Amino acid sequence: MTLETGLEPESGLESGSGSGKNAILEIEDVTLRFGGLVAVSGLSVRVPEGAITGLIGPNGAGKTTVFNVVTGFYRPTQGSVSFRGRTLTGLPPHKVCEAGLARTFQNIRLFHNETVLENVMIGAHVRQRGKWWQTLVPFAFPGALREEEEIRASSMELLSRLGLAAQAGAVSSSLPYGAQRRLEIARALATRPKFLLLDEPAAGMNPQESAELLGFIRRLRDDFDLTILLIEHDMKVVMGVCEHIWVLDRGMLIAEGPPAEIRLNPRVVEAYLGKDVPAAPPEHAGAWGIE
Same domain, 177 and 205: no
- pLDDT tens digits, residue range 229-281? 999 999 999 999 999 999 999 999 999 999 999 999 999 999 987 766 555 55
Q: Give me the domain span that covers residue 180.
A: 113-184
- Which of 184, 211, 233 is at the close of a domain? 184
- pLDDT tens digits, residue range 278-290? 555 544 445 555 4
Same domain, 117 and 155: yes
- Which of 131, 162, 184 is at the close of a domain? 184
Residue 85 has pLDDT above 60, yes or no: yes
pTM value is 0.85
Report the domain count for the chain: 2
Question: What pLDDT, on a 0 to 100 scale, did the predictor assign at position 279?
Answer: 53
Question: What pLDDT, on a 0 to 100 scale, did the predictor assign at position 209?
Answer: 87
Q: Which residue from 137, 141, 126, 125 is spatially nearest to 93, judged by alpha carbons?
A: 126
Same domain, 174 and 282: no
- Which of 184, 204, 238 is at the close of a domain? 184
Q: Which residue has the higher pLDDT, 113 or 143?
A: 113
Same domain, 47 and 20: yes
CATH of the domain at 79: 3.40.50.300
Domain membership of residue 117 (yes or no) is yes
